[in-house]
């Protein structure tokens, strides 16, 4: 039985594309084409006038036949704006709350998802625009309420989202020291995700802990993703560390047997 799973992190820009068209279904189609098991979305509108009052988290989840867990980082009267985790796998909300913010309110959402019968902790976030703010938020995410929690320390866990942080930034370096960022395993490269039309910067990241192994990680760049949002979706394939080690050992044994 395979234990590998696919995760997408995607800043959907309120489902307003680079052609200025509001189209949640187009975003859902981009996601569906990648066949992910777990989806982390940022910049979702729920009940906002500017996007026709649509509950974008639920609209995308309905299209994909998944459950949506949504957290409004910003809430003004009936209008909400925030982040979500979607999956068709068994899941439960563990925590959703604010992060230290200087400008626009920011937050995070933590959902526990059963992958091949095993719990995987997934935390999705969208960090601020100021460097000092991002450093404070990174510190909080590594702390005991989030990735430093005993349940995240005890088993497979992932911190993902739009970190507004290039690889040379203090916030990225702090996170990367604790949780090495998922890169293309073949090249070690962190390919850019923003802006989608002409990507120059890697702002979106997947930070798995030692309980998981990255077997693939790359932005999805095609004509549709360049239109659907101002960010490219980032797709990572992960497996439980011991399962990946076992497969590697088995492959090595087969090679040695062939050589004999």
- Could you read off the pLDDT of 206-259 as tens digits, one per residue? 999 999 999 999 999 999 999 999 999 999 999 999 876 666 566 566 555 445
117-164 confidence digits (pLDDT tens): 999 999 999 999 999 999 999 999 999 999 999 999 999 999 999 999
At 133 the three-state DSSP class reads: helix
The whole-number pLDDT of residue 178 equals 98
Neighbouring CB atoms inside 10 A of 107's CB total: 19
pTM: 0.94
3-state DSSP of 193-212: CECCCCCCECCEEEEECCCE
What is the number of residues in the chain?
260
The whole-number pLDDT of residue 143 equals 98
34-56 confidence digits (pLDDT tens): 999 999 999 999 999 999 999 99
The whole-number pLDDT of residue 245 equals 67
Query: How many CA atoms, within 13 angstroms, populate the side-chain half-sphere of residue 191?
Result: 18
- Assigned token pair, 201: 């910067």
Give the burial string for 140-170 (b: 16+ CB within 10 Å, else e): bbbeeebbebeebeebbbbbbbbbbbeeebe
The whole-number pLDDT of residue 242 equals 83
């Amino acid at each position: 039985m395979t234990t590998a799973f696919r995760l997408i992190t995607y800043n959907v820009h309120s489902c307003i594309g680079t052609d200025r068209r509001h189209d949640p279904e187009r975003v859902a189609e981009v996601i569906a084409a990648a066949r992910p098991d777990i989806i982390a979305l940022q910049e979702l509108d729920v009940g906002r006038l500017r996007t026709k009052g649509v509950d974008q988290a639920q609209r995308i989840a309905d299209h994909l036949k998944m459950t949506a867990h949504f957290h409004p980082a910003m809430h003004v009267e009936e209008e909400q704006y925030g982040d979500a985790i979607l999956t068709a796998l068994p899941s439960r909300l563990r925590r959703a709350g604010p992060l230290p913010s200087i400008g626009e309110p920011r937050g995070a959402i933590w959902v526990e998802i059963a992958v091949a019968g095993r719990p995987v902790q997934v935390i999705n976030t969208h960090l601020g625009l100021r460097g000092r703010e991002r450093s404070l938020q990174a510190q909080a995410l590594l702390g005991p309420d989030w990735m430093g929690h005993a349940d995240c320390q005890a088993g497979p866990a992932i911190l993902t989202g739009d970190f507004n942080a290039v690889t040379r930034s203090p916030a990225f370096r702090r996170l990367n020291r604790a949780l090495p960022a998922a890169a293309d395993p073949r090249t070690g490269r962190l390919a850019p995700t923003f802006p989608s039309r002409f990507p120059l910067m890697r702002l979106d990241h997947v930070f798995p802990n030692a309980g998981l192994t990255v077997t693939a990680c790359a932005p999805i760049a095609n004509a549709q993703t360049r239109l659907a949002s101002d960010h490219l979706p980032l797709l990572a394939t992960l497996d439980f560390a011991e399962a990946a080690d076992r497969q590697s050992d088995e492959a090595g044994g087969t090679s040695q047997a062939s050589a004999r």
